[in-house]
Amino acid sequence: MISQYAVVVEKAFTKYSVSKAVVYCNTVNMIKDLAQALNCWAFYYDVEKKIWILQWFCIERQMMVATSVFSMKIDIADIQLIIHIGWLHTLLNYVQESGCAE
């Protein structure tokens, strides 16, 4: 299943030729697996090096897989693509996660 998600995400990233994308997932295990499949960073509540990951994301303009923790109190201006994998827990999660996009 993870490999199928990775293919869809890579196609969307390429199709829309965006500089930054965030892929949201519901579970940390899914985030870790998908980030590994996409060869990008995973961002979740207890990940080490959060500041370093955020600096990399702001400078390198790539893709990150995250939980809704990423969308809380983090303001990065030029995120152009948001992808949700799986069901959202609440409407508030959707608003917070989607609100990161330009």
Domain of 67, CATH number, reads 3.40.50.300
pTM of the model: 0.78
Q: Please give the average per-residue pLDDT across 82-92, as a whole number.
A: 75
- What is the distance between the alpha carbons of residues 29 and 18, in angstroms, rounded to a whole number? 26
Q: Please give the average per-residue pLDDT across 66-91, as a whole number.
A: 74
The count of structural domains within the chain is 1
| pLDDT, greater one: 38 or 86 | 38
| pLDDT, greater one: 70 or 102 | 70
Give the pLDDT confidence score for residue 73 in this predicted structure. Answer: 58
Q: Collect all residues with Cβ–Cβ distance below 8 Å to 66 and sequence separation of at least 6.
A: 22, 23, 24, 25, 31, 42, 43, 44
Strand partners, 63: 21
On average, the pLDDT of the chain sits at 79
- Domain residues for the domain of 78 are 2-98
